[in-house]
Amino acid sequence: MHKLLITAAIVLVWGLAAAILQLPILANLEFIFGLTGFLILFFKDFDPEQATEEEKTMRKRWLWTFAMAMLLGLVFGSLWNSHIIEPSPYPDAPRVPQEGLLPTPAS
């Protein structure tokens, strides 16, 4: 149980650090962490018929922890990434307008 609580705390701190420091790479790493946890749980031998209720509960809690890591990684890494709409540093590259992606009609 202690490992689960430590992992959940790391996931929350990592997600908040990505949001506060505005570093999408931290959130992307958090998503990779959650995805790796899902893969480990998926490929681990687990027979629900022979497992005790405590093992089933802990497996569900681990799945929720890794799902939270993936959700925070997506939100703070991809959806709130302001670097996507910044103009390119190359002078010949087409620039994205800062006001919005769609042109406004002339009045």
Residue among 71, 66, 62 at smallest CA distance from 27? 71
* pTM listed for this prediction: 0.64
43-64: pLDDT as tens digits: 887 788 888 888 888 888 888 9
Q: Which two tokens stand for residue 23?
A: 């570093």
72-88: pLDDT as tens digits: 888 877 766 655 555 55
Distance CA 29, CA 99 (A): 30
Q: Residue 3, Cα to own-chain centre: how many angstroms?
A: 20
Distance CA 2, CA 77 (A): 28
Domain regions of the chain by residue span: 2-44+54-81
